[in-house]
């Protein structure tokens, strides 16, 4: 996993994924990540890059009302609509 690179995420095709685990293994906050990378990360353990630039493996799915990273949310809301892939 030493060859993880940061890349720009041009697509709006994102959804929140969790990081910042607490001591109870419950994420404190969820981040926006490209949908195409979520399954790959969950199955293969690959790292994903959130819109805010944080990298992590996908381990949890958000539930309604889960807290979202304010930086990811701001970036996501500034992206143009579309990006269906």
Q: What is the mean pLDDT of the chain?
A: 75
Contact status, residue 74 vs residue 2, Cβ threshold 8 Å: no
Please tell me which residue, 79 or 17, carries the higher pLDDT value: 79
Mean pLDDT of 14-29: 54
Per-residue pLDDT tens over the stretch 24-52: 455 578 999 988 898 888 889 899 999 99
Kindly provide the b/e burial profile for residues 32-47, where b requires at least 16 CB atoms within 10 angstroms of the residue's own CB. Answer: bbbeebbeebbeeeee
Please tell me which residue, 65 or 13, carries the higher pLDDT value: 65
**CA-wise closest residue to 31 among 4, 3, 58:** 58
Which residues lie across from 15 on neighbouring strands?
A: 33
Return the H-helix or E-strand segment holding 71.
helix 70-78
Please tell me which residue, 23 or 30, carries the higher pLDDT value: 30
């Amino acid at each position: 996993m030493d060859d993880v690179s940061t890349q720009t995420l041009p697509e709006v095709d994102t959804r929140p994924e969790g990081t910042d685990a607490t001591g109870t293994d419950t994420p404190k906050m969820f981040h926006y990540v490209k949908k195409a990378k979520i399954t790959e990360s969950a199955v293969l353990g690959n790292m994903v890059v959130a819109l805010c630039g944080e990298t992590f493996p996908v381990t949890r799915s958000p539930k309604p009302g889960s807290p979202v990273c304010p930086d990811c949310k701001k970036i996501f809301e500034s992206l143009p609509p579309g990006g269906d892939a």
